């Protein structure tokens, strides 16, 4: 008798254990059932069947077992199972919680058989492409008879591949012409699932790999795709990191292996996916939360079948059913979206490291402003450091100016635009160049600051800004829980000019309209991006309609490459400095560096203006100089002095149990875990 060990798909703590079920006679391990299969089982006296995951087999059981009711699909392989086990242990979640990440989106509570439709796609044959590239004209190996045939070939040269029906339509030809070319071995057709993913049905101009600069070449050579090694690629914005990712992936593909690329959720702009599409065509799959369940499910299936060999996505792309992974790349590795704040709570960088280990492949973390902890590891040799020091564009980095808002106020300017910023925006509008205005706002917490001297109420013990709680009219430290009375007079300089920070973008938009009535403005924040493809639509509009000013929050800081943006304005740099978090300085430096890096990416020199109440603040000064290393060397000293990460680990243990005795031993258990 064969017994399957099964984990029931449930978050209930009581069910977080293995149950035994008999395997029906007609099933054989390795053939139609295995580790990673999903099954339906009857549970206790419930009528409804529950979904379970097979995680092992044995010969007998100490219990009187029921038989599996139905064997469904295969959801994951052994490597992924190991990963889920590791996560359950590392992040204190039920095994079923981490296993749930591994199943096709939208099917964790319902297993359906989805009908699949195929359509015919066309591309040039590899043979014909190399014939074209090598210019063996004289040989005339391929005879092209008609103009219509030539039309199709020209179209396919520019566009990697395309559904046959669209090809015939846009070229004004017929299927017979395609067939004729196919017979000659010039083009080929292949079936492709009719997909719901809007990204993949668009055709993009194809690109060839660029000739690398010597510095890029050196970096690429250092990435050994044949072994498990962790790299940190530190390169200023626009230094050509993405090109290195593309070429490293090409090497991996040529070895018959596959790739995973993580990008921060909000920067999943069409721009980066377009660059991958243009280079690699239909073998990429895109996964992120803005896709519908149906779209994500389609992508999942394409990956599972091996049709997609490069998965690009937010952190959940790590769990895509891709086998034979040859490289994992995490772009903008410092981004906070790599941490999951819902169960299972995990850090995608740690999970990726583990997955790279199981897959025996390299992990490349890339950033212009690495996480302090990552850079610390790199300097200690735990991670290999790769560097790109220069921008590709000859204009180099933008000129950054810092404006002291206290001085503006002293001069009687109470508007949110300093004189300098106002003048520069005016100039840009006249020259028909574009401007990005960045509002540095995180979350909804408010802090309190003196507008005259820049004083911020901080916790005496923890040195982080205290958060204002309206309901209590008190200030609280979110680290240690200390409370303070609210202030109405600055204890530092006696001024009554106390300001609560946390202004909305909508208000600011109205002020821009008032200050620059001749300018067109578009806004990008949480409110304007809650519909599908909103990022893409807003950004395209900004570029194509040459909108004068883009106003936005964090979302506008990264990944975008607009040639005509020559001015970036930071309205108030301070608000991330004073978030109640020890990473305040780090966040500020990262944000300012990233946002200033948006300026002057085309063939015109860029400018950036940072408005602040704290012009001498180290993170702002170093961001002005775009000098990560100077920022790092200072910040790491502060961290060491105050015993903050990487010199300690911070954890939050939330314990909720109806009876104290029980929670007490849970707490002991947690302590034990960390004292090992």
Q: Which residues bind ligand ADP (CB under 6 A)?
A: 210-213, 216, 235, 237-243, 392
Q: Are 556 and 568 contacting, i.e. CB atoms less than 8 angstroms apart?
A: no
| 361, 450, 476, 549: which one binds Zn ion (CB under 5 A) | 450
Distance between CA 57 and CA 363 in Å, rounded? 33
Phi-psi region of 135 (alpha: psi -120 to 50; beta: other; left: phi over 0): left
- Least distance from C-beta 377 to ligand ADP, angstroms? 21
- Least distance from C-beta 460 to Zn ion, angstroms? 7
User: Which of the ranges 35-43, 178-186, 422-430, 455-463 carries the binding residues for Zn ion, by CB under 5 A?
Assistant: 455-463
**By the rule CB under 5 A, 410 interacts with Zn ion:** no
Select the binding partner of residue 243 from Zn ion, ligand ADP, none (C-beta < 5 to 8 A, by kind).
ligand ADP
Axis crossing angle, helix 175-183 with helix 164-171, rounded to the nearest 10: 110
Select the binding partner of residue 461 from ligand ADP, Zn ion, none (C-beta < 5 to 8 A, by kind).
Zn ion
Distance between CA 463 and CA 457 in Å, rounded? 9
Binding residues for Zn ion restricted to 495-514, rule: CB under 5 A: 495
Select the binding partner of residue 450 from Zn ion, ligand ADP, none (C-beta < 5 to 8 A, by kind).
Zn ion
**By the rule CB under 5 A, 459 interacts with Zn ion:** yes
Select the binding partner of residue 242 from ligand ADP, Zn ion, none (C-beta < 5 to 8 A, by kind).
ligand ADP
- Least distance from C-beta 241 to ligand ADP, angstroms? 3
Q: What is the 3-state secondary structure (H, E, C) of 250-265?
A: HHHHHCCCEEEEECCH
Which C-beta is closer to Zn ion: that of 373 or that of 484?
Answer: 484
- Least distance from C-beta 246 to ligand ADP, angstroms? 8
* Triad 562, 154, 240: Cα angle to 5°: 30
Q: Are 287 and 316 contacting, i.e. CB atoms less than 8 angstroms apart?
A: yes
Distance between CA 26 and CA 228 in Å, rounded? 41
Which C-beta is closer to ligand ADP: that of 272 or that of 351?
Answer: 272
Which C-beta is closer to ligand ADP: that of 496 or that of 603?
Answer: 603
| 386, 490, 565, 570: which one binds Zn ion (CB under 5 A) | 490
Which C-beta is closer to Zn ion: that of 20 or that of 492?
Answer: 492
| 229, 492, 581, 627: which one binds Zn ion (CB under 5 A) | 492
- Of 546, 558, 498, give the one whose Cα is nearest residue 522: 546
Q: What order of strands is seen across the sheet that includes strand 474-476?
A: 467-469, 474-476, 483-485
- Of 107, 368, 91, 106, give the one whose Cα is nearest residue 235: 368
Which C-beta is closer to Zn ion: that of 448 or that of 524?
Answer: 448
**By the rule CB under 5 A, 479 interacts with Zn ion:** yes
Select the binding partner of residue 482 from Zn ion, ligand ADP, none (C-beta < 5 to 8 A, by kind).
Zn ion
User: Which of the ranges 117-125, 187-195, 426-434, 494-502 carries the binding residues for Zn ion, by CB under 5 A?
Assistant: 494-502
- Of 121, 185, 192, 128, give the one whose Cα is nearest residue 154: 128
Pairing of strands 483-485, 474-476: antiparallel
- Least distance from C-beta 313 to ligand ADP, angstroms? 18
SS3 435: strand
Select the binding partner of residue 237 from Zn ion, ligand ADP, none (C-beta < 5 to 8 A, by kind).
ligand ADP
| 482, 487, 515, 636: which one binds Zn ion (CB under 5 A) | 482
- Least distance from C-beta 388 to ligand ADP, angstroms? 7
Select the binding partner of residue 235 from Zn ion, ligand ADP, none (C-beta < 5 to 8 A, by kind).
ligand ADP
Which C-beta is closer to Zn ion: that of 294 or that of 645?
Answer: 645
List of residues 6+ apart from 233 with CB closer than 8 A: 219, 241, 244, 364, 365, 366, 367, 386, 387, 388
Element (H or E) spanning 607, and its range?
A: strand 607-612
- Least distance from C-beta 243 to ligand ADP, angstroms? 4
340 exposure class (CB count in 10 Å sphere: 0-12, 13-18, 19+): middle
User: Which of the ranges 51-59, 148-156, 203-211, 487-495 carries the binding residues for Zn ion, by CB under 5 A?
Assistant: 487-495
212 exposure class (CB count in 10 Å sphere: 0-12, 13-18, 19+): middle
**By the rule CB under 5 A, 462 interacts with Zn ion:** yes
Query: N- to C-terminal Cα distance for the chain?
Result: 41
Q: Are 50 and 41 contacting, i.e. CB atoms less than 8 angstroms apart?
A: yes
Which C-beta is closer to Zn ion: that of 222 or that of 407?
Answer: 407
- Of 202, 263, 269, 365, give the one whose Cα is nearest residue 561: 269
Select the binding partner of residue 92 from Zn ion, ligand ADP, none (C-beta < 5 to 8 A, by kind).
none
| 210, 493, 510, 655: which one binds Zn ion (CB under 5 A) | 493
- Least distance from C-beta 556 to ligand ADP, angstroms? 15
Select the binding partner of residue 480 from Zn ion, ligand ADP, none (C-beta < 5 to 8 A, by kind).
Zn ion
What would you report as the CA-atom Rg of the chain, rounded to the nearest whole angstrom?
A: 28
User: By the criterion CB under 5 A, which residues form the site for Zn ion?
Assistant: 450, 452-453, 455, 459, 461-462, 477, 479-480, 482, 490, 492-493, 495
């Amino acid at each position: 008798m064969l017994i399957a060990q099964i984990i029931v798909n449930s978050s209930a703590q009581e069910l977080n254990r293995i149950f035994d079920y008999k395997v029906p006679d007609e099933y054989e391990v390795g053939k139609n059932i295995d580790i990673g299969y999903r099954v339906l089982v009857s549970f206790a006296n419930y009528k409804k069947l529950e979904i379970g995951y097979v995680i092992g087999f044995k010969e007998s059981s100490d219990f009187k077992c029921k038989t599996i009711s139905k064997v469904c699909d295969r959801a994951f392989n052994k490597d992924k199972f190991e990963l889920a086990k590791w996560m359950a242990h590392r992040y204190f979640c039920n095994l079923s919680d981490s296993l749930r990440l591994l199943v096709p989106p939208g099917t964790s509570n319902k297993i359906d058989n989805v009908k699949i439709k195929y359509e015919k796609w066309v591309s040039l044959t590899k043979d014909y492409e190399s014939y074209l590239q090598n210019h063996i004209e004289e040989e005339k190996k391929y005879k092209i008879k008609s103009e219509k045939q030539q039309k199709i070939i020209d179209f396919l040269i520019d566009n990697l591949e395309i559904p046959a029906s669209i090809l015939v339509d846009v070229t004004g030809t017929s299927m017979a012409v395609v067939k004729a070319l196919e017979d000659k071995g010039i083009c080929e057709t292949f079936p492709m699932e009719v997909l719901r993913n809007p990204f993949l049905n668009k055709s993009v101009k194809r690109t060839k790999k660029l000739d690398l600069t010597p510095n890029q070449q050196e970096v690429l050579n250092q990435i050994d795709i044949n072994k498990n090694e962790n790299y940190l690629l530190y390169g200023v914005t626009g230094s050509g990191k993405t090109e290195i990712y593309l070429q490293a992936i090409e090497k991996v593909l040529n070895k018959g292996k596959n790739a995973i690329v993580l990008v921060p959720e909000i920067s999943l702009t069409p721009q980066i996916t377009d660059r991958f599409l243009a280079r690699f065509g239909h073998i990429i799959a895109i996964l992120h939360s803005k896709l519908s369940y149906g779209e994500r499910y389609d992508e999942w299936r394409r990956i599972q079948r091996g049709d997609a060999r490069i998965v690009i996505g937010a952190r959940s792309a790590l769990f895509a059913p891709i086998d034979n992974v040859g490289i994992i790349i995490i772009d903008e590795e410092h981004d906070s979206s790599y941490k999951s704040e819902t169960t299972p709570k995990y850090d995608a960088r740690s999970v990726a490291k583990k997955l790279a280990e199981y897959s025996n492949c390299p992990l490349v973390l890339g950033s212009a402003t690495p996480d302090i902890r990552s850079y610390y590891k790199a300097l200690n040799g735990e991670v290999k450091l790769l560097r790109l020091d220069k921008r590709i564009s000859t204009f180099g980095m933008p000129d950054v100016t810092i404006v002291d808002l206290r001085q503006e106020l002293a001069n009687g300017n109470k508007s949110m635009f300093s004189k300098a910023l106002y003048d520069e925006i005016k100039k840009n509008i006249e020259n028909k160049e574009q401007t990005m205005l960045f509002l540095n706002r995180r979350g909804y917490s408010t802090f309190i600051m003196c507008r005259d001297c820049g004083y911020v109420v901080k916790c005496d013990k923890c040195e982080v800004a205290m958060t204002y709680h309206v309901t209590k009219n008190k200030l609280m430290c979110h680290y240690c829980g200390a409370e303070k009375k609210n202030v109405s007079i600055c204890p530092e300089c006696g001024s009554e000019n106390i300001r609560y920070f946390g202004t909305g973008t909508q208000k600011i938009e109205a002020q821009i309209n008032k200050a620059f009535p001749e300018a067109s403005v578009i806004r990008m924040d949480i409110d304007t991006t809650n519909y599908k493809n909103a990022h893409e639509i807003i950004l395209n509009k900004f570029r194509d309609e040459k909108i004068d000013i883009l106003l936005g929050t964090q979302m506008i800081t990264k990944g975008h490459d607009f040639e005509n943006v020559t001015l970036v304005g930071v309205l108030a740099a301070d608000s991330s400095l004073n978030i109640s978090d020890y990473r305040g300085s780090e966040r500020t430096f990262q944000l300012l560096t990233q946002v200033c890096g948006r300026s002057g990416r085309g063939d015109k020199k860029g400018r950036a203006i940072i408005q602040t109440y704290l012009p001498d603040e180290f993170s702002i000064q170093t961001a002005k100089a775009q000098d990560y290393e100077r920022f790092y060397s200072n910040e790491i000293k502060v961290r060491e002095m105050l015993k903050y990460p990487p010199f300690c680990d911070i954890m939050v243990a939330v314990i909720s149990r109806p009876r104290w005795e029980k929670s007490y031993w849970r707490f002991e258990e947690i302590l034990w875990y960390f004292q090992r």
